[in-house]
Amino acid sequence: MSARRCHAFRAAGTIVLAALALLGQHQAHAQQVVLTPGSNLDFGSFVVTGAGTITLLPNGARTSSGGVILLNSSPVHAASVNVRRNNSGRDRDAIITLPPNGGARLSSGASSMVLNAINSNPPSLASVPTSNGTNLSIGATLVVAPKQPAGRYTGTFNVNVTPIQN
């Protein structure tokens, strides 16, 4: 009988936020969109017995596929970002742009994993308010290799919010 070695590790992705300015059609100054990070994307701890994925939805629900076994020993949460305008002016619709499949990586030393299907709730904004702002929740799918080395995996990705002239 042979023993099978499993790897347990925790992957946490830190988000880097980029704010874009909007030049109003009839204004001489820019309306700045401010993004304030809340919680980081954290896939929690898991064991690898073969290739697979972990999907973390914006609502915090986590599932796995393939040779990935989820452990309940650590906190798991979607990323959160507060979006608001820092000056007055009329509310505007906004487009949220997240990285494409493979456009973000989590790394631990020389080892890495890609993030796919990065998504937010809401996927776009009906308006960007000035006062308390709007909270975005962000989830993704982590792609795990069959012999992924154990470690604490971290990384960054951009969240862009672009107000639309309307």
Nearest alpha carbon to residue 52 among 140, 143, 158:
143
Place of tokens 């608001």: 84
At 15, the pLDDT band (50, 70, 90 cuts) reads: very low
Distance CA 13, CA 114 (A): 11
Nearest alpha carbon to residue 52 among 97, 1, 113, 137:
113
Distance CA 79, CA 120 (A): 9
Tell me the per-residue pLDDT of 116-128, one tens digit each, with 9 for 90 and over: 999 999 988 777 7
Instruction: Give the Cα-Cα-Cα angle 77, 106, 40 (nearest 5 degrees).
Output: 25
Tell me the per-residue pLDDT of 82-108, one tens digit each, with 9 for 90 and over: 888 777 666 667 788 899 999 999 999
pTM summary value: 0.79
